[in-house]
Structure 1
Amino acid sequence: MKLNYINIAFLLIGIATQAQLFVSPNSYVFADNQILFVTQDVELNAATSNLYLRNGSQLMQGTAGAGSNKGLGDLSVYQEGTVNNYLYNYWCSPVGNTLTATVVNNPFGISQLKEVTGLTTASNPILLPFGSYDGLASPLSIATRWIYTFTTSNTYAQWNYIGGANTIPAGSGFTMKGTTAGNQRYDFRGKPNDGNITSAVSIGNFTLVGNPYPSAIDLNLFILDPANAALIDGRILFWEQVNVASHFIAAYQGGYGTYTTAGYTAAPFFNNDSSGNQTVPTGGTGIAFTGRRFSPIGQGFMVKGKANGTVTMKNTFRLFQKEDATSQFAKGNFDKDGNEYYPEVLNIAGIDYTQIKKGYAPQLKINAMFNNGGVRPTTLAFRDDFTDGADYSADAKMSSSQTADFYYVVENEEYLANALKFDIDKRIAIGLKCTSETNFKIKVVDILYGFDANQDVYIYDKETGVYTDIKNGMFEMTLPTGNNRSRFEITFKQGTLSTNNNIANNFSIFQNDVSGNLIIKNPNNIDLKSFNVYDIAGKSILVKNELGTNAQFEFSSTSLSKGIYVVKLLTVSNQEITKKVAVNNKK
């Protein structure tokens, strides 16, 4: 069906009024696969005045400042959840209650989520008492036990129970578990939200907000709005969860994926204790990459405050963007190559989206695994306008930390997404930390949005001088307890071993397992300042200084355990030669 666009310059349904779109008593407007654009306000005058948005239709409004919709009638719009009765979706209602006809973005309550019974008909839900755990698809029964908001808080205990009350402020996100049907369709009915809608944030705390309109919004516009940028840290967090068929908090497995204007970083999944505190990682992750820029009707998400104040949703963030075949909580993947441009997108801000690519900044997805268990997904994104420092809305700090973790060191802090300008000679500081001895495995798992697939990627160990290819291979190392934030770097080429490209050809370094000796042949009698042997974790095992110019050196290796070691030579002219040597000591 062809999508139509209705621009209402002045539409009267029934009697004359000052509203631009007025629906009189016992009347309705039905939009089927339509973009309904109203420059000013909407009045659904009486309880029998209705506006139906069907088949992907959305209501766009262009007023600036405070919302001005009024009336006792309902806008009706569908949205589907993606979870069963054990799992949470994060929501934000596009409508408020109609208890008053006055001009205000009224609070919302889940009694406004109706069961669809026909094209325009719906029935009221059954609101189950707090002691009931499971929702039902039909008759639609919602478990009020799981309805919470989260405002300027930082611990699990600070979730605010709402239940069936009509007290969820416009713009505030809320949690709700699904029903036995899984992808349950809900009919949101109420006064359409419009205009500026504010939510409180505070320093260092999270707030669950969301898209408060009966249309999609561009999250980039929300993040980059100067007033909002002064208050939040530029990340948007999306909850993802594993189906474990249990209501016990200790059984929950999930985590937060991170969206910035540079792209999306998948969620690492964690277990929880009985108080809701994050414990050990599960080894699973959320969606690897996804299109989150256009937030659809009903979507809730977290923001983190960096100052005290109120962030604002505005009509200028609104646009028309239909969803993929899947619902808003599991957006489909965009073009991995990042070469496709958006088609024309109707929007309030007047942006020409045909000049914008669907993908994000060219990037590498790099995952770390710890003791073959926990996983940390990370993102390295590259664009010429990014800097090596912290770029608001592009770089992203870690929102959760594991007992073992991998991160980028940006302005001496820990980041899971690092956006910077690409340079073949660039060295990117990374951190590896653990509270007990841990085996780390790190690898490039995906190349997206136009990053050069032929580009080499290495982890460089500054202590041993070893480069490890993490695009075609894997970095693996077992490290003792500690936080190594200056030892390792990501590079895009292997460094020259010395100032003389041929210096390494002057030496032969090998292990003689029969005699139990490490042997260095120095036929050109080059003067050596030092000789070092490191285990694979970088611990110094053997050091010899002022070796001199002998043609051959032998060092006993009988005390070394079987394994791989790194031998480093340093000449008096500060030229380095590094080689890996396998020790077996077969006698």
Structure 2
Amino acid sequence: MKQKHLILWSFINLVPFVCLSKIIPIASFGAQMANKGIIKMAPSTQDYFDNDYSNKETHANKTGLRLNDSFICDCNTSKTKSRVTSEVDEPDRFIRIGYEDPEMFYRQIVLGFLPNSPATLDFNLGYDAVMLDPREDEMFYIIENDLTRKYVIQGVGSYDVSYEFPIGLKIGKEGIHTIILDGIENFEDDIYIKDNLLNKSYNLSESNFSLNLPPGDYLNRFSIVFGNPTSKSTLDNADTIAKKNLRVYYSNNKIVINNKNNLELSDVSIFNTVGQKIIDLNKTDLRQQKTKIPFMYQQGLYVVKVESGQNKKTFKIIN
């Protein structure tokens, strides 16, 4: 097999499929193709199809969608071409984000902004695609907080810089997991990965984001955001707590909050690395200068988030 172009049927006027131009062997394509060194691709639109998709009319009747146009992926140039064109004032915008696991498997997911479509931030039939073949290590979109479904494509309406798109990470193997900005179309703002637990953002437009987390499902920790989410006000809020010399540390099976300057604390939450809240203390529990919280959890890294009114600061502790 010498050809380097694959032509697949896709939905008209919907989000283009994903081209994996730098894949390392994928089980679904077979070891034989991998051994021959053929450049491979895994289109997201495969997720729309059932087992019998050779009859386009049959599938169209099932979905209510027309399958009468094709997309061509040139895996040498990583450019996607469509025979479908539209004359609109605001162009469609696309963001392609890649994920690479420790075994060098590569997955690409797509976010599309389609201003002249009925797509919303909720699930949209024909614009959002479910991943049918998730691996032990995966990255995917989470739509409508439905944690039972993993989406490889999310299509919405017009772009808004304030939008946040939750992504899930399923980590089965320890090692370096990398998130990469593969490409953009008609997009100018910087794209960030936001760590909701640590309240930090990482600029994918400047560099890849690599992380090494324990195996588990990270379903509410990370989001795709835009602009500059780590604003000066956020930094100032953290500094407000730091200036009060508030300390958080672990000692003798307890997490200690040393608040010698009597900063009024409104909430203290403790999270594990998966992002699960395991302890929550409210204002009435935090009136002493030194608060000792019994902590008998498994050894590892934990995050303590301290809030004082609108001010927030996170502390990492190892027990």
Instruction: Tell me which interval the TM-score lies in, with the shorter structure as reference length.
Output: 0.5 to 0.7
CA 1:332/1:473 → structure 2, altered by over 3 Å: closer, same or farther?
A: closer
Partner of 2:128: 395
- Report the AA paired with residue 98 of structure 2: N
User: Is 2:178 aligned against 1:433?
Assistant: no
User: Is 2:186 aligned against 1:450?
Assistant: yes
- Report the AA paired with residue 109 of structure 2: T
- Give the alignment of 1:501-512 within 5 angstroms: 502=237, 505-507=240-242, 508-510=245-247
- Give the alignment of 1:379-418 within 5 angstroms: 379-385=110-116, 386-411=119-144, 412=146, 413-418=149-154
SS at match of 1:381: strand
Partner of 1:532: 269
- Report the AA paired with residue 581 of structure 1: K
Structure 1 residue 402 displacement after superposition:
0.7
- The structure richer in strand per residue is 1
Higher relative contact order (CA 8 A, sep 6+): 2
SS at match of 2:121: coil
- Report the AA paired with residue 264 of structure 2: D
8 A Cα contact 1:370 1:438, kept in partner: no
Picking from 38, 49, 66, the partner of 1:304 is 49
CA 1:555/1:366 → structure 2, altered by over 3 Å: closer, same or farther?
A: same
- Give the alignment of 1:64-143 within 5 angstroms: 82-83=2-3
- Give the alignment of 1:142-541 within 5 angstroms: 223-224=11-12, 261-267=14-20, 269-271=25-27, 286=40, 304-305=49-50, 310-312=55-57, 330=74, 333=77, 361-385=92-116, 386-411=119-144, 412=146, 413-420=149-156, 421-433=158-170, 436=172, 441-452=177-188, 454-461=189-196, 464-471=197-204, 472-474=207-209, 476-481=211-216, 483-492=217-226, 493-494=228-229, 502=237, 505-507=240-242, 508-510=245-247, 520-521=258-259, 523=261, 525-538=262-275
- Identify unmatched segments of 5+ residues in structure 1: 1-80, 92-209, 211-218, 225-259, 278-283, 293-300, 320-327, 346-350
- Report the AA paired with residue 15 of structure 2: A
Structure 1 residue 505 displacement after superposition:
0.1
- Number of equivalences: 285
CA 1:333/1:538 → structure 2, altered by over 3 Å: closer, same or farther?
A: same
Structure 1 residue 379 displacement after superposition:
1.4
8 A Cα contact 1:534 1:542, kept in partner: yes
8 A Cα contact 1:362 1:451, kept in partner: yes
CA distance in 1, matches of 2:28, 2:51: 27
Picking from 568, 578, 585, the partner of 2:305 is 568
- Identify unmatched segments of 5+ residues in structure 2: 32-37, 59-67
8 A Cα contact 1:437 1:478, kept in partner: no
8 A Cα contact 2:139 2:167, kept in partner: yes
SS at match of 2:240: helix
Structure 1 residue 395 displacement after superposition:
2.9
CA distance in 2, matches of 1:540, 1:526: 23
CA distance in 2, matches of 1:307, 1:390: 24
TM-score calculated relative to the size of structure 2: 0.62
CA 1:286/1:393 → structure 2, altered by over 3 Å: closer, same or farther?
A: farther
- The structure richer in helix per residue is 2
Structure 1 residue 576 displacement after superposition:
5.7
- Report the AA paired with residue 271 of structure 1: A
CA 1:406/1:555 → structure 2, altered by over 3 Å: closer, same or farther?
A: same
- Report the AA paired with residue 111 of structure 2: L
Kindly name which structure, 1 or 2, has the bigger radius of gyration based on alpha carbons: 1
Identity of aligned residues (%): 14
SS at match of 2:56: strand
- Report the AA paired with residue 27 of structure 2: N
- Report the AA paired with residue 534 of structure 1: F
CA distance in 1, matches of 2:96, 2:264: 44
CA distance in 2, matches of 1:355, 1:555: 61
CA distance in 1, matches of 2:210, 2:276: 17
Q: Deviations over 1:202-247 (max 9, x none)?
A: xxxxxxxx7xxxxxxxx67xx33xxxxxxxxxxxxxxxxxxxxxxx
8 A Cα contact 2:19 2:73, kept in partner: no
Q: Deviations over 1:307-328 (max 9, x none)?
A: 9995359xxx699xxxxxxxx7
Structure 1 residue 457 displacement after superposition:
1.1
Structure 1 residue 414 displacement after superposition:
2.0
Structure 1 residue 539 displacement after superposition:
5.2
- Report the AA paired with residue 362 of structure 1: R
CA distance in 1, matches of 2:50, 2:195: 35
